[in-house]
Copies of this chain bind each other. A is one copy, B any other.
Amino acid sequence: MRSSAPRGRLWLVPNTLDLGSSEALPLSACLPAEVIERAAALKHWVVEDAKTTRAFLKRVQAVCPLVQPLQALDIRELPRPPKDGRAAPEPQAWRTLLAPALAGEDIGLLSEAGLPGVADPGAALVAAAHEAAVPVVALAGASSLTMALAASGLHGQSFAFAGYLPTEPAARAARLRELEARSRREGQTQIAIETPYRNAALAAALIATLQPDTRLAIACGLTLPAGWCLTRRVQDWRVAPPAFGDRPLPTVFLWLAT
């Protein structure tokens, strides 16, 4: 698949972290000015969701004129990712999405929040770009996972992201105990996320299952005015449980056993 033909680049465009929030922040709270300018200059997009991408590009347009009218941009959606995230992409599908880059035009990759491919779809397209010798350029942007880790004060020299946990209570408790044992053994901070409407259920499971002296951090609505991050021992969360409020916000859960 390699050739000497000139290639466009695949730009990884960070999104904001306010997905699903009704508090509209200016893009300048979350994205560097040069990233906004780069996004405004792209004609071709491959995205997780075309509708929310148009909303994102309207926010870009409010700061920096788009290279061509929004309606004239080429916006295509990623295929749904396989459940376990490991199935090989079908080469032809990815090659079609990469066609503009193979013809010398730049492409932007955008997911619903934060960095594409990090706890979000996009990795398979990036892998196909590497295979096709399309240069991949990551623009500076935030991931809620590393921001939550910084805000937690838990160990940031060794950590693991476990993705979504089982929702069935017994399987979830078993998985939490397994991850807590690893955290204690290796000094490794464990990180997990949940769809926001299940935040309270996951918090309750963590507080009920983990050991009393394990430190548990909850980072809710990062970058939002209503956001908060608290780190307490499980025994203290049992006395004063977290309050998630009426509107579910994106939340990251982290714990470290000692």
Contacts and interface: CB of A to CB of B under 8 A. Distances in A.
Interface of A: 12, 14, 17, 26, 28-35, 84-86, 114-120, 122-130, 135-143, 145-164, 187-188, 215, 219, 222-223, 228-232, 258
B231 A127 contact: yes
Contacts of A116: 150
A153 B119 CA distance: 12
A195 to B, nearest CB: 14
Contacts of A219: 138
Nearest to A163: B157
A150 B163 contact: no
18 contacts: A12-B150, A30-B32, A31-B32, A32-B33, A86-B187, A115-B149, A126-B151, A135-B228, A136-B229, A138-B150, A138-B219, A140-B147, A140-B222, A141-B147, A143-B150, A157-B163, A158-B160, A159-B160
A152 B140 contact: no
Contacts of A85: 155-158, 187
A232 B228 CA distance: 40
Contacts of A161: 157-160
Contacts of A228: 135
Nearest to A12: B150
Contacts of A86: 155, 187, 258
A138 B120 CA distance: 21
Nearest to A81: B157
Contacts of A31: 32, 140
A153 B28 contact: no
Contact of A153 (B117, B148, B156, B158): B117
B127 A153 contact: yes
A126 B148 CA distance: 12
B147 A115 contact: yes
Nearest to A85: B157
Contact of A29 (B32, B117, B230): B32
